[in-house]
Amino acid sequence: MTQMNPSSDLARALTRRLTVLGSTGSIGVSTLSVVEHARANYGAEALPIEALTAQSNVQVLAAQARKFRPQRAVIGRAELLPELKQLLAGTGIETDGGPAAIVAAADMEAELVMVAIVGAAALPPALAAVRRGAILALANKECVVAAGELFRRTLGASRATVIPVDSEHNAAFQCLEFDQHHAIEKVTLTASGGPFRDWSRERMEQVTPEQAVAHPNWSMGAKISVDSATLMNKGLEVIEAHVLFALPAEKLDVIVHPQSAVHSLVTYADGSMLAHLSAPDMRTPIAHALAWPQRMNGPANRLDLAALGRLTFEAPDRERFPCLALAEACLRAGGVSPTILNAANEVAVSAFLDRRIAFYDIARVVQATLDADGSNIAHAEDLETVLAVDARARATAMGLCRKLAA
């Protein structure tokens, strides 16, 4: 392949060192595919890797490390560290293990940190990267949902920049005129509607995990696919947009768009509406985040509007998809309601995937956990408080799941 000659600004952007937190998951793998594409197009030194981390997939982590040659490889489950050391023996790559080691990897000197860890476990390393002023390519919505006030306060006290990688938030980020914040009338996030968009509630009561993870447009991990099927994913994204863009609940909306070509729409006070379109391919927002504020050639599929034929939109059904309504209510309630929502949802989705509870039980568990912990809602001033609220909500949700499974 003939290599491209990047502009001087893009060339400088591609010299930034990159740490990928959660490199063996769906977003992590896609990130490394974008890195590989950049090196094929701009030279083997593009986007050098500082660190790669994974929770338990030691074999894939070791293979990635051998290919991309990071300074350090970290496995979250400390008992797997001896195996990682053996797999990387003779490479000169540093190895480490355990949750603290993942935080330490985020605290290394990489200018770019891709946060691709699933769930609230991403919060401590993400905050570590924020505190030292890194550019965060944020592909995890839960850490912002679980600790929105803390995250925003930490960000405000640092030199860090957050580039959202969720397709909807990245799309809005590209359409938003931040110096015209007063003129933003509404940000509308699109939802595909998931695999059950046209199903009756009665039919959805019988949904299996296999059906729930079969997303019609996107290739994603199991947990995110279930969240998409319940529309909880979109509810979490509304809360995330509130935190990232400093917009009140009344300026945020959701619309169902089955083709997944339009990812966000921004309406301004003069009546203008800007829409961001691309193929449903996560490598598009990843490439945008890794090269920001420049743009580089990326490997993502290109959108063919003529082949697509039409773009349709419809209002979401919050009765058939109560998780969306629950998330929107938590945004309006504020405090640690989103923290409880996120924790309970993670527990309930895991129980559903393990066939211990039914599909609609996910919303029931989340609602019951919010009701049980509602009297204790307060503002979380620090990470310890956030983690304590999260742990309490998880314990409550686990108890509810056990009762339902009995």
Min mean pLDDT across 119-133, 190-204, 379-393 is at 379-393
Average pLDDT estimate for 56-65:
98
Ordered by start, the domain boundaries in the chain are 8-164, 167-279+301-329, 334-406
Do 8-164 and 334-406 fold alike per CATH?
no
Give per-residue pLDDT as tens, 134-176: 999 999 887 888 888 889 999 999 999 999 999 999 999 999 9
pLDDT band, very low/low/confident/very high, at 105 (cuts 50, 70, 90): very high
Looking at domain 334-406, its CATH architecture is Orthogonal Bundle (1.10)
pLDDT at 115: 97
Average pLDDT estimate for 60-83:
98
- Residue pair 151/380 in contact by the 8 Å Cβ criterion: no
pLDDT at 3: 77
Does domain 8-164 sit in CATH 3.40.50.300? no
Average pLDDT estimate for 47-51:
98
pLDDT at 382: 84
Average pLDDT estimate for 246-255:
96
Average pLDDT estimate for 76-89:
98
pLDDT at 310 over 60: yes
pLDDT at 375: 46
Average pLDDT estimate for 246-264:
95
Please give the share of the chain, as a percent, with pLDDT higher than 90. Answer: 84
pLDDT at 406 over 90: no
pLDDT band, very low/low/confident/very high, at 218 (cuts 50, 70, 90): low
pLDDT band, very low/low/confident/very high, at 120 (cuts 50, 70, 90): confident
pLDDT at 217: 61
Task: Tell me the pLDDT of the chain averaged across its residues.
Answer: 93
